[in-house]
Amino acid sequence: GCTGSAPIQNIGAYGVELKDVCEYVDIVHLPEGNISRLSAQTCQFGYRDSIFKHQYQSGYAIVAVGLILKKQWSPVITYGDLSQLSPATVTPVQVFDAVCAMRSSKLPNPAETGNAGSFFKNPVVAAEQAAVIAAAWPDMPRYPQADGSVKLAAGWLIDRCDLKGYNVGGAAVHQNQALVLINKNRATSDDIVALAHEVRQRVGQKFNVWLEPEVRFIGAEGEQDAVGVIA
């Protein structure tokens, strides 16, 4: 990927997001050519969201991103297999290698199997709702957020609906990572939409959690409301 696209989605994985290290973003107003600098706060970073998907979606281009990195190594290793590493001795290279190993074991190579990575966002729900689900499913992964809400693992929810490998036409839920929808056999856009709709319905009916796409839907007339398309 490109650095300039990172702020748009506030990209993140394994417990870290761009907003954690972003200091500013420079943008150019395309009609006039004026360049201005937005602070990280002005960028309104949220979970896979930013001002660049709303107010500054059209007529602007990102030309620079300013990052501030800590000189003191402070690893974030609370996610998945990373939690098995020792914070006292782990090195950046070891974290890098572990992340690459996890991704290669779970995510299909887009050069071989058509996919857009994580298709759905990990849902964020109220702590009370998370507790209700966890009472019935004690093994459910959950990640408390600073505001008191709880982030759930969309892949786990989909997996518990027995949807790994499930297909509609040429589109399918990946066998190893339920969060990824793949082009298994000449899938059409209708196949992808129908599959995403079925996944959303199954998870919603089972857990009362309604998934939202992380991918963006672009139609013949421009971007579409992804949630509305698959609802």
Residues identified as active-site: 48, 118, 214
Integer Cα distance of 7 and 42 in angstroms: 12
Q: What single string gives the DSSP state of each residue in the chain?
A: --GGGHHHHT-EETTEEGGGTEEEEEEEETTTTEEEEEETTTTT-BTTB-GGGTTTSSSEEEEEEEE---SS------SGGGGGS-TTT--HHHHHHHHHHHHHHHSPPTTTSEEEEE-BPPPEE-HHHHHHHHHH-TT--EEE-TTS-EEE-HHHHHHTTT-TT-EETTEEE-SS-TTEEEE-SS--HHHHHHHHHHHHHHHHHHHS----BSS-EEETTEEE-HHHHH-
Q: Report in angstroms the alpha-carbon separations of 61 from 1, 29, 52, 131, 221.
A: 16, 7, 9, 42, 21
Contact yes or no for 132/112 (Cβ under 8 A):
no
